[in-house]
Amino acid sequence: MDNALWAFGRMSGVVSLVLFSVAVILGILNRSGRPLFAIPRFSMTLLHRNVSLLATVFLVFHIVALMLDSYAKLNVIDVFVPFLGGFKPFWQGLGTVAFDLVLAVVATGLLRHRLGQRSFRAIHWLSYAMWPIALGHAIGNGTDGTSKWFVVLAAGSLAAVGAAVAWRLSANFLETAKARQGGLS
Amino acid sequence: MTEILHIDWTRCDGRGLCTELLPTVLVRDDWGYPLALQATNGNRSNPAISPGNIEAAREAVHLCPKLALSLVPEQAKPRQ
């Protein structure tokens, strides 16, 4: 049972990270206003939301498994307050920071209509901080963090998210960019 | 009771979700912004929503990335 919790705790963390990478990329894709292949824009929005929530579910699995595991012995304080852990406190603390940011982003995302656009957007931007912090936690704290397969996975995720962010910052990012720059013909 | 889809132009950024959800009600202009296919009382900003479209209109209000849409009863004339 203990080995199972340990293995599950590690793998759910990896799954969560991959899903968060997809969620960030989908969020950027949404923001461009473009449909993806045959998927309409409203479906992209729902996909972004659902992948993000799924990533959060796996993050909760990751945390709960390592709280129950007799080797990791994560306690409630370490889950919410960063940098106090017994083992690699800095790298574990990054995970805690990322989790706190996820909680803020998810809660404000679900309450968007009540909070209003301005507060929602300000908090939602924290996602851009959350993702690299989570990646740092995975590499620095993970038992597999520096093993070859994980480094390849991390590099691939970094390249994909990095490319999406670079595209986000480019002049023709918006679907309507050309028209709004006066490029109607 | 007919409801009216009010578009708040101070918020709308023309992302196109509402025009996809309500293809029989809205079209996109050249800059991506929604416009009512048919004018209601000479107004192309506040289209009336038929009962068949009400579900899609609610979805549009819910999913609008800029929170620019609201459904208002026809009696209470929306400010323009």
Domains (range + CATH), chain B: 3-73 (3.30.70.20)
Cβ contact, residue pair B11, A117, below 8 Å: yes
Residue A19 pLDDT grade (very low, low, confident, very high; cuts 50, 70, 90): very high
Predicted local confidence at residue A105, as pLDDT: 97
Q: What angle do CA B73, B21, B57 make, to 5 degrees?
A: 15
A184–chain B Cβ distance below 8 A for any pair? yes
Q: Is the model's pLDDT at A185 over the cut of 60?
A: no
pLDDT tens figures, B20-78 = 999 999 999 989 899 998 877 777 888 888 889 999 999 999 999 999 999 998 765 55
Predicted local confidence at residue A126, as pLDDT: 96
ipTM for this prediction? 0.84
Please report, rounded to a whole number, the percentage of residues in chain A having pLDDT higher than 70: 98
Helix axes A89-110, A127-141, angle to 10 degrees: 150
Mean pLDDT to the nearest integer, A59-84: 90
Kindly report the average pLDDT of chain A as a whole number: 92
User: pTM higher than 0.95 for the full model?
Assistant: no
Mean pLDDT to the nearest integer, A20-47: 92
Encoded amino acid at B40, one letter: T
Reported as type and span, the H/E element at residue B7 is strand B3-7
Predicted local confidence at residue A184, as pLDDT: 59
A171–chain B Cβ distance below 8 A for any pair? no
pLDDT tens figures, A123-142 = 999 999 999 999 999 999 88
The residues in B 35-54 lying below 8 A from A, measured between CB atoms, are none
Query: Where is pLDDT greater, at A73 or B21?
Result: B21
Predicted local confidence at residue A177, as pLDDT: 84
Predicted local confidence at residue B1, as pLDDT: 67
B16–chain A Cβ distance below 8 A for any pair? yes
Measured distance CA(B69)–CA(A47) in Å, rounded: 21
With contact defined as beta carbons under 8 Å apart, do A94 and A134 qualify? yes
Predicted local confidence at residue B48, as pLDDT: 87
The residue in chain A having the minimum alpha-carbon distance to the alpha carbon of residue B32 is A176
The residue in chain A having the minimum alpha-carbon distance to the alpha carbon of residue B68 is A117
Reported as type and span, the H/E element at residue B19 is helix B17-21
Measured distance CA(A62)–CA(B29) in Å, rounded: 47
- Can you say whether the dihedral through the CA atoms of A42, B45, A175, A126 is positive or negative? negative
Q: Is the model's pLDDT at A69 over the cut of 80?
A: yes
Cβ contact, residue pair B62, A179, below 8 Å: no
Predicted local confidence at residue A174, as pLDDT: 87
Cβ contact, residue pair A116, B67, below 8 Å: yes
Mean pLDDT to the nearest integer, A14-38: 93
B3-7: strand order across its sheet: B48-49, B3-7, B69-73
Least confident of A6-15, A23-32, A174-183, B19-28: A174-183
Measured distance CA(B66)–CA(B68) in Å, rounded: 5
With contact defined as beta carbons under 8 Å apart, do B25 and B5 qualify? yes
Which bin fits A41, alpha (ψ -120 to 50), beta or left (φ > 0)? Answer: alpha
- Can you say whether the dihedral through the CA atoms of A119, A121, A127, A129 is positive or negative? negative
Least confident of A91-100, A143-152, B42-51, B71-80: B71-80
Predicted local confidence at residue A117, as pLDDT: 92
Tell which residue, A180, A20, A113, A131, has the closest CA to residue B62. Answer: A113
Q: What would the two tokens of residue A72 be?
A: 């990791």
Predicted local confidence at residue B76, as pLDDT: 56
With contact defined as beta carbons under 8 Å apart, do A53 and A106 qualify? yes
